[in-house]
Structure 1
Amino acid sequence: MKINKNLLVAALPLVGAAVVYKWSTWKTELVKALIKRQKEKGDYNRFIKNFPDPPESLHKKYTFEKIDISGARGYWINKAKASKGVLVYLHGGGYVFGPLEVQWKYIARMSDEVGMAAVVIDYKMAPEHPFPAGLHDVEKIVTTLQAEGAIPGAYYMLGDSAGGGMAIAATNLLMEKKAPLPEKLILMSPWLDLSMRNPAIAFTADKDIMLPLEEIKNSAKKYVPDGDFQNPLVSPLYGNVAGLPPTLIQLGTAEAFLWDNRKFVQKLTEANVEVQYEEYAEMFHVFALVHMLKEGRQALKSQVRFLEG
């Protein structure tokens, strides 16, 4: 059989693309399988290793500067770029742990991608410091840096999981204080209702390989010992959303938080808040932080477009 060389050359890019696509798909499934295995073993210490300070691996590429405002702590990343805008980042971790190495890498990469400075707020956490201690740290750092002129008019607030819920709560608190609000919000798999009472959660709770339902309920009790989960500054799903800035929400369809996020998007839409909502098929909780996954890279590119748009 004689092979047409021109046809073979023409087909090579298609074959290459197919191989790359297949590998990227297998890589996603491999990561999901590894996480699921750790969940079944109950070994979450593999993932929960706090990094209150930036990992050494990032110091070669990024500049860091400590923040300490009356006990409210955090870090600047690339502070010299603050005139171009500031990303205020609130990490997830159920209000009881974090930041993690993957979260540091995510926000450093975002700072690089958009050419802006970032502020990582290492807010106080439960059970030693239950609500509202952490939220007040966020307010203190943001308003103080604004008063000093360190945060310009153009700043943005980003958060994943618990940090996503806190980003909305902090924006509402700043609104009450008549302080300048973030230009936009980016929320990755945000935790919007700490009561976890939505019966639809049962449809996806077992599919959520990253987020054990009992663990998240225990975290809620530690963060809010009095059980007032319907306080809007605890669970933004119960709050007034009118006046919130344009918001990007990203999450996977294999998440326990899926249903509350869908309700929240409807609430934003009814309040005429500009919202961009993205669901990623069969992706797990806070997948957007995992840059090695094609879905994580896709989510980050969408965030960059959202900020620059």
Structure 2
Amino acid sequence: MSLRRHLLNQCLRWTEKPLLSRGSPQLLRRALEVQARLFFRTPRAVKAVWRELPLGPRALWLSPPQSGARVILYIHGGGFVFGSPLTHRAMLARLALLTDAEVVLPTYARVPEARFPAAARDVHAAWDSLLALGIAPQNIILGGDSAGGALAFDLLAQLCQEGGGLPAGVFGLSPLLDMTFSGSSFRENAGCDVLLPAQRAAEMAGLYLNGKSADDPRASPLFADYTGAPPIWLTVSDSEILRDDSRRLASRLCKAALPVTLQEEHDLPHVWPLFHNHLPEAQRTLEALGQWINALPPAPLGGPDRAGES
């Protein structure tokens, strides 16, 4: 592991974890937006444009110089409270360059202004909007991190149940999949997780769920049915409180004979690919994800496959 990994872990432990432990939603939003502008550099070759989605919320579109047919629909994390397309733009722009895919980062309703299932409705509307724009489901890769991972995998479960088109693949970066927080890593890693404060999870869940049971599959996608799901790629650090969310989902998918890849790393912070400008391990993870996306089977010929300019 790199020296930069050690320095970043120490910095996060002494600055960001205390902020996440006590900060108000408004403070957390402002802080991450400022930090993203200061520390996460977006590749200049990638064009970023805001667009209104026909059936859903506003979204940030990232277009690499050589874009192919594929589109990545990415749901940002932030505990359902903070984060935005702008805070995740740099990481996804790098992924766009690695895959020659356009990336769509939709906004969605956040806590405390909106409660469950408002965010999930916005995410499904973003998917429906891409289809309305003429993009074939098989040309869409769905992804998300942390709470955005919860929304992405909830969408996948809904699509599997609906019986329509499915994305070519789905990936999660340190996804939050179990709102009951029943994994052993939630207790075992409470001290060594350098970013997420385990003691605040119940507050976050209560704000988001708004009375919904935490073991409902719509709230905790770990318990959802993914029959017929496309290939799934997960990555998580062994020092995260959310480690067992990915481990248990991968185990369930394997038992159901569904295609899944779990890439577990050692002693890295929650959603470390965000730090790709500074952390060699983050660069390698994004490269591995890009290779996985590029290896997905191409969509069958025929039918609409791309959106027109708007």
Tell me the TM-score range normalised by the shorter chain.
0.7 to 0.9
More helix by share: 1
Which residue of structure 1 lines up, in the alignment, with residue 60 of structure 2?
Answer: 75
In the alignment, does 2:150 pair up with 1:165? yes
Change (3 A) 1:46 1:30: farther
Moved more, 247-256 or 32-41: 32-41
Deviation at 1:301, TM superposition (A): 1.0
1:211 aligns with 2:196: yes
Shift, 1:47, TM fit: 8.2
Mapped partners of 1:249, 1:65: distance in 2: 28
Aligned-pair distance for 1:60?
Answer: 4.6
Question: 2:159 is paired with a residue of what secondary structure?
Answer: helix
Matches within 5 A, 1:96-111: 96-99=81-84, 101-111=86-96
The corresponding residue for 2:46 is 62
Q: Is the alpha carbon distance of 1:194 and 1:168 closer, same or farther for their aligned partners in structure 2, counting shifts above 3 Å?
A: same
Q: AA paired with 2:280?
A: K
Q: Give the structure 2 partner of residue 30 of structure 1.
A: 7
Code of the aligned partner of 2:239: A
* 1:122-133 mapped onto 2 (5 Å cutoff): 122-133=107-118
Q: Aligned runs of 1:179-198 on 2, under 5 Å?
A: 179-198=164-183
Match of 1:178 among 154, 163, 188: 163
- Structure index of larger Rg: 1
- CA deviations on 1:76-108 (whole Å, 9 max, x unpaired) are 211886652000000011111112755211011
Shift of 1:158: 1.1
Amino acid at match of 1:30: L
- Give the counterpart of 1:280 among 253, 265, 269: 265
Distance between the aligned counterparts of 2:75 and 2:18, measured in 1?
29
Alignment counterpart, residue 302 of structure 1, candidates 269, 277, 288: 288
Residue 303 (structure 1) shift: 0.2
What is the alpha-carbon distance in structure 2 between the residues aligned to residue 250 and residue 48 of structure 1? 27
Q: What TM-score, normalized by structure 2, do the two folds share?
A: 0.83
- Classify the secondary structure of the residue corresponding to 1:234: coil
What is the aligned residue count? 285
Q: Residues 269-308 of structure 1, C-alpha deviation per residue, up to 9 Å, x if partnerless?
A: 0011111111111112111221021111111111011011
Distance 1:203 1:55, change over 3 A: closer
Gaps spanning 5+ residues in structure 1: where? 1-23
Equivalent residues of 1:124, 1:133 under 8 A apart: yes
State how far apart, in whole Å, the 1-side matches of 2:229 and 2:268 are: 27
Retained in 2: the 8 A contact 1:82–1:151? no
CA distance in 2, matches of 1:111, 1:154: 14
1:92–1:98 contact (8 Å) kept in structure 2:
yes
User: Shift in Å at residue 241 of structure 1?
Assistant: 2.4
My pick for the range that moved more, 35-44 or 195-204, is 35-44
Query: 2: distance between equivalents of 1:153 and 1:100?
Result: 23
Alignment of 1:146 with 2:123, yes or no, is no
Give secondary structure in 2 for the equivalent of 1:167.
helix
Q: State the partner residue of 2:298.
A: none
| Aligned sequence identity (%) | 24
Query: Gaps (5+ residues) in structure 2?
Result: 296-310
Q: Which moved more, 1:205-214 or 1:169-178?
A: 169-178
Q: Following TM superposition, by how much is the alpha carbon of 1:206 offset from its aligned partner in structure 2, in angstroms?
A: 1.1
- Determine helix, strand or coil for the equivalent of 1:49: helix
Partner-residue secondary structure (3-state), 1:206: coil
